[in-house]
């Protein structure tokens, strides 16, 4: 069974600074995908970034990048130049690529960006 | 931009009543999912659906739950006899393909179910 661990219940960052949200995962399957979702206070789940287990390069999407360290089984999200609108809950998730795959989520990290 | 829609946004029901939560997935997507999130907790998988049948379900998805695709657009989650612990945000999601092969699951805005 897959497991996602997010050890930071809350993080604080000042506007315009970079922040790293930690995520470690556990699976015995060699083929999987890692995702980050943002959940603002309004409740919707917004997809941010994806990393495949066989991808050679770290994924990037605008101000978001995923620091993928396969040997350590970590998939940290880096947000550069934080904005006030980045304040939200962030969830790391994974899915397997074989079979009917579902997302397994971590408990989330609440990020607060201050002016 | 295409999106997953869910209705209602908030449903209040009495314990023991049946509720149906509705979702309209993105039109060319083939895989559909229901997740739930109890307030302050992580998102949990309930069920996945493909080709008009359940492809996977979690331990949470017991006999009180059922899913249906009654027509070409809607995807519903029915809870036959609601319990207080069913109070949660219920998310519908859809994807073009399954797995982590670079295809994300698009989430709807959620239905907040409150059981009193």
The pLDDT mean for chain B works out to 91
The tokens 């060699």 sit on which residue?
Answer: A30
- CB-based burial, B91-109: b 16+ in 10 Å, e otherwise: bbbbbeebbbbebbbbbbb
Number of H helices and E strands in chain A, helices first, is 0, 12
The pLDDT mean for chain A works out to 92
B88-95 and B75-79 beta bridge pairing: unpaired
Phi and psi torsions of A84, nearest 5°: -55, -35
Nearest CB to B99; choose among A45, A97, A104: A97
**From the CA of A81, how many Å to the nearest CA of chain B?**
25
Best B53, B100, B101, B109 member to test A by mutation, with max A CBs in 10 Å, is: B100
Average pLDDT over residues A22-42: 92
Using only C-alpha atoms, what is the Rg of chain B? 13
CB–CB contact B42 A106 (8 Å): yes
CB–CB contact B102 A105 (8 Å): no
A109-114 and A10-14 beta bridge pairing: parallel
**pLDDT per position as a tens digit, B3-49:** 999 999 999 999 999 999 999 999 888 889 999 999 988 999 999 99
**Cα–Cα distance measured from residue B76 to residue B53, given in angstroms and rounded to the nearest whole number:** 13
What pLDDT score does A55 carry?
Answer: 87
What pLDDT score does B96 carry?
Answer: 81
- B contacts of A107 (beta carbons < 8 Å): 41-42
């Amino acid at each position: 069974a897959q497991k996602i661990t997010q050890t930071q219940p809350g993080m604080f960052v000042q506007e315009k600074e970079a922040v790293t949200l930690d995520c470690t995962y556990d699976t015995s399957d060699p083929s999987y995908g890692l995702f980050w979702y943002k959940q603002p206070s309004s409740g919707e789940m917004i997809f941010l970034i994806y990393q495949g287990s066989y991808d050679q390069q770290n994924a990037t999407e605008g101000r978001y990048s995923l620091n993928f360290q396969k040997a350590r089984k970590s998939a940290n999200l880096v947000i550069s130049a934080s904005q006030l609108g980045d304040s939200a809950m962030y969830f790391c998730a994974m899915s397997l690529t074989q079979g009917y795959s579902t997302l397994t989520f971590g408990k989330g990290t609440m990020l607060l960006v201050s002016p | 931009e295409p999106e997953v829609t869910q209705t209602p946004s908030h449903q209040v029901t009495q314990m023991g009543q049946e509720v149906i939560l509705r979702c309209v997935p993105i039109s060319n997507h083939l895989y559909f999912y229901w997740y739930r999130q109890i307030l302050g907790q992580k998102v949990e998988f309930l069920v996945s659906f493909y080709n008009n049948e359940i492809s996977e379900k979690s331990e949470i998805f017991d006999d009180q739950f059922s899913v249906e695709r009654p027509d070409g657009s809607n995807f519903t989650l029915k809870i036959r006899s609601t319990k207080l612990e069913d109070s949660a945000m219920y998310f519908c999601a859809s994807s073009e393909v399954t797995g982590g092969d670079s295809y994300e699951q698009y989430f709807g805005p959620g239905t907040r179910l409150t059981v009193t």
